[in-house]
Amino acid sequence: MLNPAIFKAYDIRGIVPDELDGEGAYKIGRAYAQFLRSSSKQEVVSSKGLTVIVQADARPTSPALKAKLIQGLLEEDIKIIDGGLATSPLIHFAINDVQADGGVMVTASHIPPPYNGLKLFTKGAVNIGFGSGMDKIRDLALQFASSPEEKKQPIYHSMRPHKVVDGNFEDDYLKFILGKIDVSKIKFFKVVIDAGNGMAGLLLPKLIKELPIEVTPLFFEIDMTFPNHEANPLKEETLVALQNKVKETGADFGVAFDGDADRIGFVDELGRVVRGDFVGAYLAEEWFLKKEPGEKILYDIRSSRIVPEVIEAAGGTAIQSRAGHTLIKQLFRKEKAIFAEERSGHFYFRDFFYSESAFLVFLYLLATLSKTDEKMSTIINRYNKYFATPELNFTVKDRSPERLREIAKNFSDAKDVSWLDGIFVIYDDWWFNLRPSNTEPLMRLFVEGKNPEIVNQKLELLKRLLAE
């Protein structure tokens, strides 16, 4: 089974087995291999062949999908390094550590079963999305699915029969990220960590042993049916257990990881949720721009205005990006920036292969907090300058560029209008972003301003316009 709808803007994701099954994974494996070969230098393909890292999360359907994926890759003459269980950042490290030509992670991130999926990478752990190969892989895979492979897509005839080689990258990955900070300068902190029964629990016990902190663990047992709560720190309702435990234990702060441990969320010592863009502003100001003055830092279009203000005030160059991790990573590499943040809890680092690592965010935050005696709540309050809605979703019949232009006509007196990602309208005392979802039939809206009254007033106006 291979439903065309599973090919998303940034990854492959669907219900198993109704939309994606083992045969579908096999066909995707072959399609990905053919794409990788066609986009690689011919002399590399001819001389040594292509090597791909394959890893997976621990959801029940992952082993079968992974096995069929590997079968498809082997039949296309791909050398396989099986890295076993992993977080998504671990495969970013593994691909770069062995200089592999690509990688595939079997995961659906924080989304519970029966969903599963695949994240595809090229050399350097560059994500494959629409516009960078996903559409070609989809078309090849569907061609396999709609007709006998032997007739349309013969198996690649290799003079080098390959086998699967096992690889374990856990210790090297932890050593690599721990080397980014001076552990001896980390102060003692009491921290509650919620692994959400996701893949963070694979590596957290090892990481914690290397740090001078006291940890109260929540849901470290890996169970990707997510029996306690969805492992998605962007949703505040998933942070209730963490908030309560922070207040109960008198911890300095709390940390939550998503299902594949590429996103991270925080609560302060009062149990209040800390927005991802505020964490990004803090690290930009107090860590990266103090280490590397004048550097470029990216922030996504959903972030508070305080983020670019802080970056510019600290002597950095603030660059706004479209939403979505594949899009922001493309711009991140192009600009060769030092750091990038998304309000969703993705954080990207030039010194981590222009990729995200939630563990590295945690380490950098520990190192930055160790330089001050201020509480996290006091620090974060500095960035809480404006009043904002969360990103709101609206189901709409029409999310076309023409519809956005119609809405934009109502704001012809705006100070500025940007079309970077949907429409971004700026007035002196309020501003908003309205953009079509990359993955769903939704419009996403974010409104921010200098006082709650104007934010609520303009939100109601925009709701009426969206209902027309």
Q: Encode pLDDT of 35-91 as tens digits.
A: 999 988 755 565 578 999 999 999 999 999 999 999 999 999 999 999 999 999 999
pLDDT the model gives residue 158: 53
33 and 119 housed in the same domain? yes
pLDDT the model gives residue 116: 97
Tell me which residue range forms the domain holding 421: 387-467
140 and 199 housed in the same domain? no
In a domain, 305, yes or no: no
pLDDT the model gives residue 325: 84
Among 125, 105, 126, smallest CA distance to 116 is for 105
Averaged pLDDT, 337-363: 97
Q: What is the DSSP letter of 154?
A: P
In degrees, rounded to 5, the angle at the alpha carbon of residue 349 between the alpha carbons of residues 107 and 261 is 25
pLDDT the model gives residue 449: 98
pTM of the full structure: 0.94
pLDDT the model gives residue 326: 85
The Cα–Cα gap between 368 and 357 comes to 17
Tokens of 354: 């222009």
Q: Please determine, for residue 22, whether its predicted confidence score (pLDDT) is greater than 60.
A: yes
28 and 125 housed in the same domain? yes
In a domain, 284, yes or no: no
138 and 204 housed in the same domain? no
Q: Please determine, for residue 281, whether its predicted confidence score (pLDDT) is greater than 50.
A: yes
End position of a domain, from candidates 250, 270, 290: 270
pLDDT the model gives residue 151: 42
Q: Which residue has the higher pLDDT, 154 or 444?
A: 444
In a domain, 344, yes or no: no
221 and 82 housed in the same domain? no
15 and 160 housed in the same domain? yes
In a domain, 304, yes or no: no
Q: pLDDT band for 9, please (50, 70, 90 cuts).
A: confident
20 and 119 housed in the same domain? yes
In a domain, 108, yes or no: yes
Q: pLDDT band for 150, please (50, 70, 90 cuts).
A: very low
In a domain, 227, yes or no: yes
Structure-token match 């007196």, residue found = 413
56 and 157 housed in the same domain? yes
Q: pLDDT band for 295, please (50, 70, 90 cuts).
A: very high
59 and 155 housed in the same domain? yes
The Cα–Cα gap between 22 and 13 comes to 13
pLDDT the model gives residue 163: 77
In a domain, 246, yes or no: yes
pLDDT the model gives residue 153: 57
86 and 216 housed in the same domain? no
Percent of the chain with pLDDT over 90: 88
459: domain CATH number?
Answer: 3.30.310.50
| Predicted confidence (pLDDT) per residue in 401-451, tens digit | 999 999 999 999 999 999 999 999 999 999 999 999 876 779 999 999 999
End position of a domain, from candidates 234, 250, 270: 270
251: domain CATH number?
Answer: 3.40.120.10
Q: How many domains does the chain have?
A: 3
Partners of 297 in the β-ladder: 318, 339
In a domain, 45, yes or no: yes
Among 369, 194, 351, smallest CA distance to 279 is for 369
Averaged pLDDT, 341-358: 96
Q: Please determine, for residue 308, whether its predicted confidence score (pLDDT) is greater than 90.
A: yes
End position of a domain, from candidates 168, 199, 232: 168
200 and 157 housed in the same domain? no
Ramachandran class of 306: left when φ > 0, alpha when ψ lies in -120 to 50, beta otherwise: alpha
Tokens of 465: 């316009």
CB 102 within 8 A of CB 95: yes
Q: Please determine, for residue 161, whether its predicted confidence score (pLDDT) is greater than 90.
A: no
CB 70 within 8 A of CB 52: no
39 and 87 housed in the same domain? yes
| Predicted confidence (pLDDT) per residue in 99-128, tens digit | 999 999 999 998 999 999 999 999 999 999
Report, as residue numbers or ranges, the catalytic residues.
109
Cβ within 8 Å of residue 396, ≥6 positions away: 403, 441, 442, 443, 466
Percent of the chain with pLDDT over 70: 95
pLDDT the model gives residue 332: 97
Q: E strands within 301-409?
A: 317-321, 339-341, 347-349, 355-356, 387-388, 392-395
Rounded to the nearest integer, the mean pLDDT of the chain is 94
